[in-house]
Structure 1
Amino acid sequence: MNRKRVDGLKRPSSTTFKSPFQVPSKKASDDTTKKGVDENLEKKLEAINSEIAELENRGLKIEMLQTHIDKLHHYNELKDCGQVILGRIAVFEGVRTKDIYPRYNLLLDD
């Protein structure tokens, strides 16, 4: 049985489909690559652990980190509220929000 192709030409049904994608075969280099990645991860882990130990030796504690994170969340919530207020002022005055920043001595990057 012959099938019609979109361009109107016929192709014999006995031909098999050949995918343009090649299935990668497992090579010895795959194992070598995995070992290299594992070694890199081990080195990074050692570096991070030594940095943690150094910070703990300086007197920093994990509880301080959580307090800092909580303060950052609070700061971001306040900043978002400020952005909403500036946006509403801009809509009310019919200007872009960034045009209002200089009036309140705000930096666009802040």
Structure 2
Amino acid sequence: MKMCPTLSISRWIFLLCLPVVMLVSVQKAHSSAQSLGLPCCHKVITQEVKTIQSCFEQKPRYRCRQHAFLIINKRHKNKIWCIDPNSEWLKDKIEKGELKCPPVISV
């Protein structure tokens, strides 16, 4: 006689609740990114920015899939330029060590 293993009620409840917990955690991650006010570049440009105050790398994340570099320049305070990571002028400045672009906090 072959016995079939059965799960206890508490294990069934755990297995049924697990997808709900996972869904809630994904929604919390998205809302925390919004509450932090993280910028998200959807379109990028290749134009060179001359007077750079700071630079950050935007890596693809949930609801923000574009890889870009966020440049804040000195002339336009708080203006964020979304630069294409393949821009030659940007690559050149980063390779020469003239510009450091740490990653933006991602979720």
Shared fold (TM-score greater than 0.5)? no
CA radius of gyration, larger in: 1
Q: Larger strand proportion, structure 1 or 2?
A: 2
Structure number with the bigger relative contact order (C-alpha 8 A, sep ≥ 6) is: 2
> With structure 2 as the length reference, what TM-score do the two structures score?
0.30
